[in-house]
Structure 1
């Protein structure tokens, strides 16, 4: 809708005057030029004669999914599953791999095995729930405290009455946020003071797994002296923009 009192010809002429913007007006209300428009520079491919890779990239395991043995999810409802029992089932199914190779310390695996008798020392944190796959049902998000300020993150989806792990990663986590259907992980940047890693994990329908779709190193404003690696206070993730009341429960 054009302004009242302005002839249509004037409106068309103003729209066609691309180099002119309302960057400022003199006392008489005349337009001032913003100067020449910079020339657009498109992407340039370097070394276009490089041959294609003869071998596929290394598989870092992001697409690995596993069915959790012995765990049933009635009605494909992850809220009816005990998160501690889920992690215990994975540890029991692969006892030889949980010595660092699968992102879990052997000490942590032993603590998980004693969660039933020593709940105060259980490293499995309270669960969170969110529909991350877009199928209309919640997924189960589990965090596991580990030594050296490491946190293991696991995401499980219910299908065909069972449970499948669709994400697994371990890092020196600063915080974990949920943004829509993405899991945003902020982690300490080793060896680069003043920076942190931020990785967005998103559901990939083709791979049927959560993949790290965006990964970046971000400069952060220092808020004080950096905590030492042995400082217990830095092991607690910072609050998420979404509260526990919105997303979490203490049990299934």
Structure 2
């Protein structure tokens, strides 16, 4: 009987020793390189803003490459005063008609012409001041499209952005950013993001190009620098302009080796 008790006691001690070793290994594993680390409560997930289209995808029309015309200095449009504190109180067609940056082709589209289109006005908030801006677009008879952004400042209308874009462009808002998508090379795409910079009181611009063309994919940061608008009636592209698509850079030429020079005896050296 005493022998059985001694065996049971030894088994109990062995089990206790094994449990102690397992506990030590478990605790040590929490800090080891292959263990599971407790970093505390999970971080909250912040949902990123989704693109909100301003208009349905524009009609597909073949046209030459688009250019982006920077807006003029932010001066109020002469002869235009809003009746209230919201830019919605103004007729978008009246705003375009009084804007000195608007071309004669756009004015013709406002009056109505074959193949022309005047987009429905949109009122996103782009500048972070809590007030809505007016975003509108026009396509003229020659299939050139123009996109304009206006804001209201002390009951006066100010032009913030004037762009010449592809007829089949697409414009979205992502948060407070304006994003313009345009086809570039066959199968390629150019996406330009306009982000309001309150220190400059103007939009900063970043262009990303992608696609199977020879142009390298990447981002082209930049800024929209104000410039003088072209005179009315002048076709687009003749005034100051900034290209909205990256310019591909080809490989540098490799110089050919110099031919061998002949020695005075006639043998090549």
Report the TM-score when normalising by structure 2: 0.51
Provide the rounded CA distance (Å) in 1 between the counterparts of 2:132 and 2:118: 19
User: Alpha-carbon deviation of 1:211?
Assistant: 2.9
Q: 1:202 — aligned with what? A: 195
Q: 1:150 — aligned with what? A: 144
CA separation of 1:8 and 1:74: change in aligned 2, threshold 3 A: farther
**Helix, strand or coil: the match of 1:68?**
strand
CA separation of 1:14 and 1:73: change in aligned 2, threshold 3 A: same
User: Alpha-carbon deviation of 1:63?
Assistant: 6.7
CA contact (8 A) 2:108 2:140 kept: no
Provide the rounded CA distance (Å) in 2 between the counterparts of 1:180 and 1:200: 11
Q: 1:170 — aligned with what? A: 164
**Helix, strand or coil: the match of 2:118?**
coil
Q: 1:234 — aligned with what? A: none
CA separation of 1:219 and 1:64: change in aligned 2, threshold 3 A: farther
Q: 1:7 — aligned with what? A: 26
Report the TM-score when normalising by structure 1: 0.54
User: Alpha-carbon deviation of 1:122?
Assistant: 6.9
For residues 208-227 of structure 1, the aligned pairs below 5 Å read 208-212=201-205, 214-219=206-211
CA separation of 1:124 and 1:163: change in aligned 2, threshold 3 A: same
**Helix, strand or coil: the match of 2:93?**
helix
**Helix, strand or coil: the match of 2:164?**
strand
**Helix, strand or coil: the match of 2:203?**
strand
User: Alpha-carbon deviation of 1:108?
Assistant: 2.8
Provide the rounded CA distance (Å) in 2 between the counterparts of 1:146 and 1:211: 27
CA separation of 1:169 and 1:74: change in aligned 2, threshold 3 A: same
For residues 106-125 of structure 1, the aligned pairs below 5 Å read 106-112=104-110, 114=111, 123-125=117-119
* Runs of at least 5 residues in structure 1 that lack an aligned partner in the other structure: 18-59, 99-103, 221-252
Provide the rounded CA distance (Å) in 1 between the counterparts of 2:34 and 2:75: 58
User: Alpha-carbon deviation of 1:206?
Assistant: 1.7
For residues 9-28 of structure 1, the aligned pairs below 5 Å read 9-14=28-33
CA contact (8 A) 1:67 1:164 kept: yes
Residue correspondences, number? 157
User: Alpha-carbon deviation of 1:204?
Assistant: 1.1
* Runs of at least 5 residues in structure 2 that lack an aligned partner in the other structure: 1-22, 37-68, 213-269
Q: 1:181 — aligned with what? A: 176
Q: 2:94 — aligned with what? A: 85
Provide the rounded CA distance (Å) in 1 between the counterparts of 2:178 and 2:137: 12
CA contact (8 A) 2:150 2:160 kept: yes
User: Alpha-carbon deviation of 1:109?
Assistant: 2.5
User: Alpha-carbon deviation of 1:12?
Assistant: 0.8
CA separation of 1:8 and 1:158: change in aligned 2, threshold 3 A: farther
**Helix, strand or coil: the match of 1:87?**
helix
| 1:134 partnered with 2:128 | yes
- Structure number with higher relative contact order (C-alpha < 8 Å, ≥ 6 residues apart): 2
Cα root mean square deviation, aligned: 3.0
**Helix, strand or coil: the match of 1:127?**
coil
CA separation of 1:12 and 1:156: change in aligned 2, threshold 3 A: same
